[in-house]
Structure 1
């Protein structure tokens, strides 16, 4: 059986924060907003004014820094038993996830207000829980996708460039992962058969990024939203999120299991990890040299990593390459591949990418 999931309403544009109250009022009148302290300092009064004008009763709770069970319990305690109609999260990925977690705990509706575009998490019903030492505990799920996703693209344009680039990295891989999942008769994030619409969205996402990523990054450098940035944000936040949830994932996202277990790669941004991971996937697929040369050139032009040296400044030891390969293949999404992969194949692909980065003329297929 096929399942397609999506947010109830998606709003995007420069100045969107000014209509947040109006959009929330469509859904709820009593709202709790979990907000990153930096975002609160910059935009809290603007958000409060928008909500007051729309007749929305808003309570702001400052995010403590980690999406952990302890943080959710702290926020719940601050509410003192008062359950809102909706919980929203405003900030980066962790802040948004803790908003989802609180909404789930309170059995209420959820909304997301991303102030960076580093992943497609705002549209997703997933959220990730960590312990106090930032070790992954679990990937949890809301009963449904958020009721509202609101993205102010001028706020995004003013955020750090590397976070915007990481969002491009997270999104550019989705075409190749959805293709693999569908061909492997895999399951999407809803545990159902992938829908063909997700593949169409993933293709569109990839095309937008290839056509507009460089110009959008230039807009971020100018700290000014423009049409190129608007297109890329729609691709990285909306199209990417819809395609991966309803289409499924594959080896690229599985690589994060392995990379996160090696300290020198563990703290690389998620989008950079999966961008590197998709190159490993494409090598293992046996893509031809012309294709690999093209995607290498694109990654290098915009600043995405093409090797582990580029990801974190150091090549892997033999033991580290083995750890990455073993844990990658243990991830559930790694099964979404045309064949059952062996650890030595993944290690060979990893080493082949390091060799290619050091010696650009070396064919990638030679080592696998």
Structure 2
């Protein structure tokens, strides 16, 4: 029987980060199994095929390649799980962005005792370290969170690949990571049980705070490094913040309105061209408004967001001239049963979400530099 007030922190078994780390994949995977299915989309395969194939071959690991369909849907999970089962794989590796990695994690869960490896090629989300996946409908709308009994066995991040990607990816990751501290402090103050299964530890709360501090200090530098496609200490630090610090912080502290409102935004087809962290950033703004955050805190958030190129207005996430009914639809989805919006220390309604999005957008537009 779990003790009331139990504190928990969960994490992947191993985290590896550095330029050229993909060339070490075989060395690490060989400790987990000898028959691997690697899932990546067609574009990712074009630039990781040689390093992945050579590394696994050198380690004596049998490789089966699967091409990712593009969305983490139940249909895609079932398809890849069937393929992995047919080959007798004992390891599943997801390479690419958050949806491919979430699919690999879900496949590992479906097959029970198969080891899971996350190998992001972008620093766009904190998905790689977590024991959960975001499942979407075939149309691209948020459907549900799927929770697993364990975190990945290995997370491997090649920062040379992160630097090679368009800078929008690492900037979007900053939006996802920026929410970590704002949501963590709310959940801790409200004594909410985190996704780890208990209350937050001091360590996990400190990691969430460190994530925020790292972004504030190095975010603008990292954006410029990404634009120049070079690996620098700033890019390394922000990659770690976006991936590891944010991942441990959100999972062992909790999510709140920022991610709930992100999920709500997905009901509008007009936002489907936006990246996860870009929509989360608008959720963070709305959460700060819901909390009644002081002006200096809103201004700090706005300055940072603008300095790295994150959206701060509804128009910037595809919702220019959004009407009340459209924002209420977002609010209803954001406050659906089971949504993380309910981790706020007060009851949040659909009307409150619509009001917060409207007010946050108005403040951001009013304070924009001409």
Query: Which bracket does the TM-score occupy, shorter chain normalised?
Result: over 0.9
**Residue from 295, 302, 308 that aligns with 2:301:** 295
8 Å contact kept, 1:36–1:92: no
348-357 vs 143-152, which moves further: 348-357
TM superposition shift of 1:141: 2.4
Cα-to-partner distance string for 1:216-263 (whole Å, 9 max, x where unaligned): 111111111111000000000000000000000111011023211222
Determine the structure 2 residue equivalent to 1:26. Answer: 31
Q: Structure 1 residue 335 and structure 2 residue 342: aligned?
A: yes
Cα-to-partner distance string for 1:50-89 (whole Å, 9 max, x where unaligned): 1111222222222222323332333344446332221111
59-68 vs 73-82, which moves further: 73-82
1:112-261 matches, within 5 Å, as 112-261=118-267
Scaled by the length of structure 2, the TM-score of the pair is: 0.92
8 Å contact kept, 2:140–2:272: no
Determine the structure 1 residue equivalent to 2:3. Answer: none
223-232 vs 42-51, which moves further: 42-51
Determine the structure 1 residue equivalent to 2:41. Answer: 36
Distance 1:268 1:238, change over 3 A: same
Question: What SS does the aligned partner of 1:216 have?
Answer: helix
Query: Any gaps of 5 or more consecutive residues in structure 1?
Result: 362-368
Cα-to-partner distance string for 1:122-179 (whole Å, 9 max, x where unaligned): 0011112334322434322232000000000010101111111110000011101000
Question: What SS does the aligned partner of 1:149 have?
Answer: strand
Q: Structure 1 residue 354 and structure 2 residue 354: aligned?
A: no
Determine the structure 1 residue equivalent to 2:287. Answer: 281
Question: What SS does the aligned partner of 1:173 have?
Answer: helix
Query: Any gaps of 5 or more consecutive residues in structure 2?
Result: 1-5
229-238 vs 260-269, which moves further: 260-269
Determine the structure 2 residue equivalent to 1:366. Answer: none
Question: What SS does the aligned partner of 2:335 have?
Answer: helix
Distance 1:338 1:104, change over 3 A: closer
Matches of 1:81 and 1:302, distance apart in 2: 45
Cα-to-partner distance string for 1:294-334 (whole Å, 9 max, x where unaligned): 22111112111112122225032011222222322235322
Q: How many residues align?
A: 361
TM superposition shift of 1:198: 1.5
Q: Structure 1 residue 84 and structure 2 residue 108: aligned?
A: no
Matches of 2:81 and 2:232, distance apart in 1: 39
Q: Structure 1 residue 324 and structure 2 residue 330: aligned?
A: yes
Question: What SS does the aligned partner of 1:349 have?
Answer: helix
8 Å contact kept, 2:286–2:360: yes
Scaled by the length of structure 1, the TM-score of the pair is: 0.93
Question: What SS does the aligned partner of 1:81 have?
Answer: helix
Determine the structure 1 residue equivalent to 2:68. Answer: 63
User: RMSD of the alignment, in Å?
Assistant: 1.8
